Amino acid sequence: MIRWHRAVSVADPVGCPSTMSANLQGTRPLRPVFLGLLVLSGMLGEMAAAQTLGFSGETIAIEIGYGPGGGYDTYARLLARHYGHLIPGNPAVVPRNMPGAGSLRAANFIYNLAPKDGTELGAWAASTVMEPLLGNELAKFDAAKFGWIGSMNQDISFCGVWQKPGAATSFQDMFTIETIFGSAGPASISFQHPLVLKNLLGANVRVVTGYAGSREVNLAMQRGEVNGACGLFGSSIKSQFFKDVQEGRLKLVIQMGPRTTDEFGKVPSVFDYVKTENDRKVLELHFKQILLGRPLAGPPGMPPERLAALRTAFMDTMKDPDFLADAQRANIDIDPVAGEQVDELLEQFAKYSKSVIDKAKAVIGR
């Protein structure tokens, strides 16, 4: 168990009143007792400090950047059921939904308004992390300064089209058949990924915004309000749409990410359509972030000891048998990224050239 420490002030015997000094003189047999009391006092003070700086009796809230029922909500609530057992002091962990602007609202809240003691954490889209770099003035944070706890999964994102007469059945079809995708807002990958397909690769795509989260987008797709959805993570497909994919109601037309999978059949990669090296770097800037499939972060300025404890407890949770069994029952994947690795990835993003960043902005309408 991690123990918390702080400096403990113990009265210096040299500074005691003269009467005590006088009484101590000539009482050599009592000196070991006195020193022992000092040691005991220090130990008790240290234990009190540990209780003060730990999370005992506290509640940690996880602010989820989307509404109930979607992939981010599912992951965050799974984490909340197990995380507190491995944090020093065993605090209660409570998930709360804070949808808005493609999870930008939650990120702004954690960065600017949340207490800096680790009792308010946030779970939002990987794309939200990139918003300041991509010129979104509504992103009131420096992503590198968050207290990054880690990510629960390194995922792969898909765009899918709900099948009905006249709908696109492949990505190649989308160059001629207009496909309308639903989205939560400009900071979400459900908004940005279709625009990358449109503005960099030339697909005939339109995006409709205003949905609270992926659950609402998915329902709109099934009702026929929109043709499809982007930002469908592999883990969410397995937990929510696996039968629809297997039986052909939902056709996955393209996958995005620095790695690929054939888990749902042969689906082309967005990188298969890249034409220049500069365009490849633009795609990397947009899609390498998917390695942060389910990130968790706290505000900047958290005490280092608390951040370290939250990071350690997070990675311990990712290996906990009860947690993994719960994840398996929910049919979601766990492939964690440590907080230190998130820091390294954000440093890499900051090193992209201005021309690549400017083009990355342009393809999503910035």
**DSSP 8-state assignment for residue 11:** -
* Residue 49, CA atoms < 13 Å, CB-side half-sphere: 15
Token look-up 């790695």 returns 259
Among candidate residues 125, 152, 126, 158, the one with its CA nearest the CA of residue 261: 158
**DSSP 8-state assignment for residue 239:** I
pLDDT score recorded for residue 150: 97
Q: How far is CA 186 from CA 59, 103, 293, 301, in A?
A: 32, 10, 18, 28
pLDDT score recorded for residue 39: 41
Let me know how long the chain is. 366
CA-CA distance, 223 to 219, in Å (whole number)?
A: 6
Prediction pTM value? 0.70
pLDDT score recorded for residue 53: 54
CA-CA distance, 341 to 271, in Å (whole number)?
A: 24
**Tokens in use for 178?**
């207009």
Q: Give the three-class secondary structure for 171.
A: coil
pLDDT score recorded for residue 219: 92
Q: What is the pLDDT along the chain (366 residues), one digit of tens a residue?
A: 333 333 333 333 333 333 333 333 333 444 444 444 444 444 434 443 344 457 999 999 999 999 998 889 999 999 999 999 999 999 999 999 999 988 999 999 999 999 999 999 999 988 898 899 988 999 999 999 999 999 999 888 999 999 999 999 999 999 999 999 999 888 788 999 999 999 999 999 999 998 988 889 989 999 999 999 998 988 889 888 999 999 999 999 999 988 899 999 999 999 999 999 999 999 999 988 877 889 999 999 999 999 999 999 999 999 999 999 999 998 889 999 999 999 998 988 888 899 999 999 999 988
pLDDT score recorded for residue 176: 96
**DSSP 8-state assignment for residue 238:** I
* Residue 192, CA atoms < 13 Å, CB-side half-sphere: 28
pLDDT score recorded for residue 215: 84
Q: What is the 3-state secondary structure (H, E, C) of 118-134?
A: CCEEEECCHHHHCCCCC
pLDDT score recorded for residue 34: 41
CA-CA distance, 284 to 364, in Å (whole number)?
A: 14
Instruction: Tell me the Cα Rg of the chain.
Output: 26
Identify the structural domains of the chain with CATH numbers, from first to last: 59-155+291-363 (3.40.190.150), 157-289 (3.40.190.10)
